[in-house]
Amino acid sequence: MGGDFAGDPGAKYNDYVLPFQLEASGARGRLVRLGPVLDSILGRHEYPEPVLLLLGEAVTLTAMLGAALKFDGKFILQTQSDGAVGFLVVHYTSPGQIRGYASYDADEVAHLLNGAAPKKPLIGNGHLAMTIDPGAGMERYQGIVALAGNTLVDAAHEYFDQSEQIPTFIRIAVARQYTAGEDGKQGHWTWRAGGLMVQKLTREGGYESGPDVASDEVDDDGWRRAQALAATVQDHELLDPTLGSDSLLYRLFHEEGVRVFDAAPMEARCNCSRERVEAMLEQFSPDQVEAMAEDGMIVVKCEFCNTQYSFVADHYMHRGEPN
C-alpha cells in the first residue's frame, strides 16, 4: 500500500475514522485521527487539563466504536464512578456527529494539578456503559463493565475480552499541540487525538469491525503477529498531523498487507436547540416554572455545548390563561 488512498478526506489527516483489514492475518481495525473536531468539543468547556485529557480519550474511543454502526442510530459511552470525575458521557450520532461533557470534583482535580496526593483517582470505582440505540422504537443494546481505578482503554479491553469475547488491541493518545504562527501572526495551542484498534474477530449484525469482511476466526499465530505489530505504534505517530494514515498503516503493517476502506468523517455537533428547550419547559407546571425562575427569567444551559437559552418565566407561568 502506498500513496494517498481514496478514503483519506484530505492532506491534513483530520477528523475521521478509517477502517482497515490486515490481509495476511485477517485481523481488522480502525484508525482514528481527530483535530478540529476534538478541539471544538474540548474548547467549549473550561475544564482543568486532566479532565480535558480524559474527555478527549472518551471522545476518541466513542468515535472509534461508534463509527462501526451500520445503521442510523446512536452510540453512547458513559462512565459513573466515585473518582474525581464522577460522570462523563459522549454521544455519537450517525453519521459521525459527536458531543460530550464531564462532571468533576474541582477540589480533587486541584490536588492533581498542585502535585498533592489526591484522595480520589481521576476515575474511581464504578462502571463504564456502552449503549447502542437504533432509534425508531427498536430495542437498545447495552454493555457494562466495572471501573476500578483503571483507564477507559483498560475498561474497553476488559469489555471486549469478557462480554464480546473478541481479542482486541486499543491505543489512544491525546495532547495539546502548538502551531507556530505564519507571517508574523501569533501561534496557538490546539487539541489533537489519535487512536488505533485491531481486533481478531468480526461480529455480524449492526456492529462490526469493518465492511465486507469474512466471519472466519483469525488463527492464533496471525492474531499474535497483528497484535505485536499494533503495539509498536507510538503516541507521536498517532498525533502527528503531517503523517498520512496510509503511511502510518504501511509503517506498522507492511508485512501483513493492508486494505483500507472508506473513511468515516467526524463532526462536532450538538443537537440542542431553543425549540427543544421550549418544548421541555411546556411540560412543567406554573409552580415548577416559578421555582426555576430568577429575576423573572429562566436560563437553561446545555451541558454538552455550553449554549445558554434564556426565556421570560411569565410566559410559561400564565400560558393558557385568557389575555
Lowest mean pLDDT among 10-19, 95-104, 143-152, 160-169: 10-19
Q: Is there a single domain that holds both residue 179 and residue 306?
A: no
| pLDDT reported for residue 225 | 94
Long-range CB pairs of 208-212 (<8 Å, 24+ gap) are 208/68, 208/70, 209/19, 209/28, 209/29, 209/30, 209/68, 210/19, 210/20, 210/21, 210/28, 210/29, 210/30, 210/261, 211/19, 211/261, 211/262, 212/261
Q: Is there a single domain that holds both residue 201 and residue 288?
A: no
Q: What is the CATH number of the domain that holds 65?
A: 3.55.30.10
State mean pLDDT over 129-142.
89
Q: Is there a single domain that holds both residue 215 and residue 296?
A: no
CB-based contact 166:158 (threshold 8 Å):
no
Contacts of 164 (CB under 8 A, 6+ apart): 143, 203
Q: Is there a single domain that holds both residue 190 and residue 289?
A: no
For the cut 60, the answer to whether the pLDDT of residue 6 exceeds it is no
State mean pLDDT over 2-26.
70
Q: Is there a single domain that holds both residue 199 and residue 109?
A: yes
| pLDDT reported for residue 319 | 63
| pLDDT reported for residue 135 | 80
E-state strands within the chain: 16-22, 28-34, 74-81, 85-93, 97-104, 125-133, 141-148, 168-179, 188-199, 258-260, 264-265, 267-268, 297-301, 308-312
Q: Is there a single domain that holds both residue 217 and residue 278?
A: no
- pLDDT tens for each residue of 102-128: 999 999 898 888 877 767 889 999 999
| pLDDT reported for residue 73 | 92
Q: Is there a single domain that holds both residue 182 and residue 196?
A: yes
Residue 2 placed within a domain: no
For the chain, give the mean pLDDT: 87
Angle at CA of residue 95, ends 90 and 97, nearest 5°: 35
For the cut 60, the answer to whether the pLDDT of residue 159 exceeds it is yes
- pLDDT tens for each residue of 281-322: 988 888 888 889 998 899 999 999 999 999 988 888 766 555
Q: Is there a single domain that holds both residue 199 and residue 233?
A: yes
Cα four-point dihedral sign 128, 27, 73, 92: positive
Residue 82 placed within a domain: yes
| pLDDT reported for residue 12 | 55
Cα four-point dihedral sign 158, 164, 169, 172: negative
Residue 298 placed within a domain: yes
Residue 323 placed within a domain: no
Q: Is there a single domain that holds both residue 226 and residue 288?
A: no
Residue 219 placed within a domain: yes
State mean pLDDT over 49-78.
96
Cα–Cα distances in angstroms (integers) from residue 280 to residues 29, 269, 309, 314, 319, in the given order: 41, 20, 12, 16, 14
Residue 11 placed within a domain: no
Give the DSSP letter of residue 120. Answer: S
Query: 289 is written with which cell numbers?
Result: 416554572
For the cut 60, the answer to whether the pLDDT of residue 2 exceeds it is no
For the cut 60, the answer to whether the pLDDT of residue 213 exceeds it is no
Q: What is the CATH number of the domain that holds 313?
A: 3.90.1280.10
Q: Taking the mean position of all CA atoms in its chain, how far away is CA 146? A: 19
Residue 4 placed within a domain: no
| pLDDT reported for residue 59 | 98
Q: Is there a single domain that holds both residue 35 and residue 178?
A: yes
State mean pLDDT over 23-47.
95
- pLDDT bin (cut points 50, 70, 90) of residue 210 is very low
- pLDDT tens for each residue of 226-265: 999 999 999 999 999 999 999 999 999 999 999 999 999 9
> Do strands 188-199 and 168-179 pair parallel, antiparallel, or not at all (unpaired)?
antiparallel
Model pTM score: 0.86
Query: 75 is written with which cell numbers?
Result: 452510540
| pLDDT reported for residue 302 | 94
Q: Which residue has the higher pLDDT, 322 or 133?
A: 133
Q: Is there a single domain that holds both residue 249 and residue 294?
A: no
Structural domains counted in the chain:
2
Domain boundary among 237, 252, 268: 268
| pLDDT reported for residue 146 | 94
Residue 35 placed within a domain: yes
CB-based contact 33:55 (threshold 8 Å):
no
- pLDDT bin (cut points 50, 70, 90) of residue 9 is very low
Q: Is there a single domain that holds both residue 303 and residue 226?
A: no
Contacts of 163 (CB under 8 A, 6+ apart): 143, 145
Residue keyed to cell 478509517: 18
For the cut 90, the answer to whether the pLDDT of residue 11 exceeds it is no
Which domain covers residue 54, as residue numbers? Answer: 16-268
